[in-house]
């Protein structure tokens, strides 16, 4: 168990690094992994060598972020004088040729012998400097000298720092125990669009509008290999500009939600466990950028038991949380062959017929004269008004009466049907049962009032309405109801929910009939077995029983 957890004591601040080197040693190797923050100012000393006379640099970064290794005080004549201060570039040193990477785990090896100093990066020699030895074996002055290697206050972290004898390989130390870090696997992302400026666009907002998006977080070692540990990962929504937490919505809802089995929870209540080095998140954002001064968000993933280690947390790309951009849908306005076209200045549509063809010219609806067709327009305007209330923050372009006009009824198959051929008059459209041509012979259908009650209602209201609808209407009528709800809410997933609810209610009714055998009073011991079987069937998992309470 101990080998399968991340130990916080394996990682510590650079300033806590400290090793004592005896003066009679003829050489040594200092090996460690280091993670330096970008907030560091340069030039800067990483590790100092300290004796009774003062301190001198042992390992440092110059202003160009080039790593430099200096001779050792008790071994080399070229070593810097602990009592004097001098620019780093004026001191004898071995240095790498490229800039030292920041905010990444880098393995550093410093091999110090009597005639040279070698700098190793990630197990390979990158620099070597020949030096003159000042070491005299058996000398009393050497035996009295003790040098302490001390880490600086530079913002950085260290892992697996060790002093090794010269006969042990630095490369072996490099491969032995690499440190860990969190990373986001962007290849697993779904329902996320990346804008040209590199910002992620995610649809969020109200419950009826926000979409689930997926992200995987992986625990890797410094070599980029996944590591399986018993670790939980949490997610939080932050402002990208200053890293502060995003506030709850005006409804008191958590800004970032996670979805389990179709139920939403605040992410801080439901951490995700690593499985084979990977934690999968299904997330929703309830807060919109437009309601937060158009500020960008980001998601922080971290190990809650090891907060404060920057390599065990990771930030997503900046996020712009937007409302759903709905497709503007046209409502069906009936037309009937008439010898005279409606005058275009009366506020209605100008419809001319030439050789049996239908020509439609869209004009702005300003005023509608009292007529059967204007009554239909008022009905459509009432529908649109209800949709605008439902849409709220979901649609940046609310539907208007101007956009609601159309000349054809749209069938269930998505094709436009000519109402002229169907012989439907405006009076036919005003009847409660007719919604489009495809259902003109289907008998009764769910009323507009019920549809809008469902669209605007909460979970309890929807549940109550569904129970009534599935017991009172045919499969075709329920399918049309689901289709209409999807249209008015702009959320196609409602269709699946409604059809699933119908199936579950039917299964529940059948199960109760089987249990009760027409007896309203059933003993619990007789019912629990069948209830558990139904639960396993619904959950699609034969090994997931109900808890015994």
Q: Residue 79 corresponds to which tokens in the numbers above?
A: 């070593």
pLDDT digits (tens, 9 = 90+) for 156-194: 999 999 999 999 999 999 999 999 999 999 888 888 988
Q: Where in the chain is the domain with CATH 2.60.120.200?
A: 11-176
Q: Where in the chain is the domain with CATH 2.60.40.10?
A: 180-322
CATH classification for the domain delimited by 180-322, as one of 1.10.10.60, 3.30.450.40, 2.60.120.10, 2.60.40.10: 2.60.40.10
pLDDT digits (tens, 9 = 90+) for 18-40: 999 886 567 899 999 999 998 87
Give pLDDT, residue 23: 64
Give pLDDT, residue 367: 34
Give pLDDT, residue 403: 37
Give pLDDT, residue 320: 93
Segment holding 40, helix H or strand E:
none
Give pLDDT, residue 541: 63
In this predicted model, which residue has the larger pLDDT, 18 or 79? 18
Q: Residue 187 corresponds to which tokens in the numbers above?
A: 């290849």
pLDDT digits (tens, 9 = 90+) for 467-483: 788 777 888 888 888 88
Give pLDDT, residue 530: 75
- What is the signed CA dihedral for 304, 308, 310, 316, rounded to 10 degrees? 50
Give pLDDT, residue 461: 79
Picking from 272, 341, 342, 344, the residue whose alpha carbon sits closest to that of residue 304 is: 272
In this predicted model, which residue has the larger pLDDT, 334 or 42? 42
> Lowest mean pLDDT: which of 102-111, 128-137, 240-249, 435-444?
435-444
In this predicted model, which residue has the larger pLDDT, 191 or 375? 191
Q: Residue 223 corresponds to which tokens in the numbers above?
A: 């070599």
Give pLDDT, residue 148: 92
Task: Taking residues 329-335, report their average pLDDT.
Answer: 33
Give pLDDT, residue 448: 83
**C-alpha to C-alpha distance for 234 and 232, rounded to whole angstroms:** 7
Q: What is the pTM of this model?
A: 0.59
Give pLDDT, residue 123: 94
Give pLDDT, residue 540: 64
CATH classification for the domain delimited by 11-176, as one of 1.10.3720.10, 3.30.2040.10, 2.60.120.200, 3.40.190.10: 2.60.120.200
Give pLDDT, residue 136: 58
Task: Taking residues 70-82, report their average pLDDT.
Answer: 86
Q: Residue 297 corresponds to which tokens in the numbers above?
A: 């968000």
**C-alpha to C-alpha distance for 13 and 151, rounded to whole angstroms:** 9
In this predicted model, which residue has the larger pLDDT, 88 or 23? 88
pLDDT digits (tens, 9 = 90+) for 236-246: 999 999 999 99
Give pLDDT, residue 205: 87
Segment holding 258, helix H or strand E:
strand 256-260
Task: Taking residues 304-324, report their average pLDDT.
Answer: 91
Task: Taking residues 526-537, report their average pLDDT.
Answer: 74
Q: Residue 315 corresponds to which tokens in the numbers above?
A: 């930030």
Task: Tell me, rounded to whole angstroms, the distance of Cα 209 from its chain centroid.
Answer: 17
Task: Taking residues 237-261, report their average pLDDT.
Answer: 90
Asked if residues 234 and 254 have their Cβ atoms less than 8 Å apart, the reply is no
Task: Taking residues 239-261, report their average pLDDT.
Answer: 89
The model's confidence at residue 389, banded by pLDDT at 50, 70 and 90, is: very low
The contacts of residue 521 (CB under 8 Å, 6+ apart) are none
**C-alpha to C-alpha distance for 25 and 114, rounded to whole angstroms:** 10
Task: Taking residues 397-408, report their average pLDDT.
Answer: 37
In this predicted model, which residue has the larger pLDDT, 42 or 233? 233
Give pLDDT, residue 537: 72
pLDDT digits (tens, 9 = 90+) for 286-304: 999 998 999 999 999 999 9
- What is the signed CA dihedral for 440, 446, 450, 454, rounded to 10 degrees? -110
Most confident of 21-25, 51-55, 214-218, 440-444: 214-218
Length of the chain: 549
- Mean per-residue pLDDT of the chain: 75
Tokens 């997330």 belong to which residue? 283
Given a cut of 80, is residue 379 above it in pLDDT?
Answer: no
Given a cut of 90, is residue 311 above it in pLDDT?
Answer: yes
Give pLDDT, residue 444: 58
The pairing of strands 67-69 and 156-164 is unpaired
Q: What angle do CA 47, 57, 116 make, to 5 degrees?
A: 95
């Amino acid at each position: 168990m101990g080998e399968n957890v991340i130990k916080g004591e394996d990682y510590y601040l650079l300033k806590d690094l400290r090793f004592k080197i005896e003066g009679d040693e003829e050489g040594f190797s200092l090996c460690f992994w280091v993670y330096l923050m970008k907030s560091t100012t340069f030039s800067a000393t990483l590790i100092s060598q300290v004796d009774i006379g003062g301190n001198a640099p042992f390992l440092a970064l110059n202003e160009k972020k080039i790593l430099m290794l200096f001779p050792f005080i008790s071994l080399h004549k070229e070593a810097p004088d602990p009592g004097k201060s001098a620019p780093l570039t004026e001191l004898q040193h071995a240095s790498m040729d490229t800039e030292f990477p920041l905010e990444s785990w880098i393995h550093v090896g410093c091999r110090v012998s009597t005639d040279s100093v070698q700098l190793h990066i990630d197990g390979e020699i990158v620099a070597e400097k020949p030096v003159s030895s000042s070491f005299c074996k058996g000398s009393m002055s050497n035996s009295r000298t003790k040098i302490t290697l001390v880490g600086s206050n530079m913002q950085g972290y260290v892992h697996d720092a060790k002093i090794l004898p010269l006969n042990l390989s630095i490369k072996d130390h490099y491969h032995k125990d690499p440190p860990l870090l969190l990373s986001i696997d962007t290849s697993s992302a779904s329902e996320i669009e990346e804008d040209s400026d590199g910002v992620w666009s995610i649809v969020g907002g109200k419950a009826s509008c926000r979409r689930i998006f997926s992200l995987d977080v992986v625990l890797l070692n410094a070599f980029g290999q996944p590591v399986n540990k018993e670790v939980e990962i949490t997610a939080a929504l932050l402002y990208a500009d200053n890293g502060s937490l995003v506030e709850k919505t005006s409804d008191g809802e958590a800004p970032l939600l996670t979805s389990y089995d179709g139920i939403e929870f605040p992410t801080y209540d439901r951490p995700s466990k690593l499985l084979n080095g990977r934690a999968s998140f299904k997330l929703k954002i309830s807060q919109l950028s437009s309601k937060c001064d158009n500020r960008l968000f980001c998601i922080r993933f971290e190990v809650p038991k090891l907060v404060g280690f920057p390599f065990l947390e990771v930030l997503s790309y900046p996020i712009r949380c937007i409302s759903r951009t709905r497709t503007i849908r046209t409502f069906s306005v009936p037309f009937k062959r008439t010898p005279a076209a409606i005058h275009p200045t009366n506020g209605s549509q100008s419809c001319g017929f030439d050789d049996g063809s239908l020509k439609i010219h869209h004009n702005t609806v300003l005023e509608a004269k009292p007529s059967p067709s204007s009554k239909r327009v008022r009905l459509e305007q009432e529908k649109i008004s209800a949709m605008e209330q439902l849409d709220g923050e979901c649609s940046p372009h609310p539907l208007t009466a101007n956009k609601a006009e159309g000349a054809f009824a749209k069938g269930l198959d998505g094709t436009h049907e000519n109402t002229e051929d169907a012989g439907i008059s405006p009076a036919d459209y005003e009847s409660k049962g007719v919604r489009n041509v495809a259902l003109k012979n289907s008998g009764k259908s769910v009323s507009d009032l019920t549809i809008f009650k469902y669209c605007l209602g909460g979970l309890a209201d929807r549940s109550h309405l569904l129970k009534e609808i599935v017991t009172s209407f045919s499969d075709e009528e329920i399918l049309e109801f689901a289709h209409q709800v999807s249209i008015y809410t702009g959320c196609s997933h409602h269709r699946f929910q409604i059809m699933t609810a119908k199936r579950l209610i039917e299964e529940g009714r059948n199960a109760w009939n089987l249990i009760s055998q027409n007896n309203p009073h059933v003993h619990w011991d007789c019912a629990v077995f069948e209830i558990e079987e139904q639960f396993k069937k619904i959950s699609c998992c034969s090994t997931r029983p109900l808890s015994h309470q």
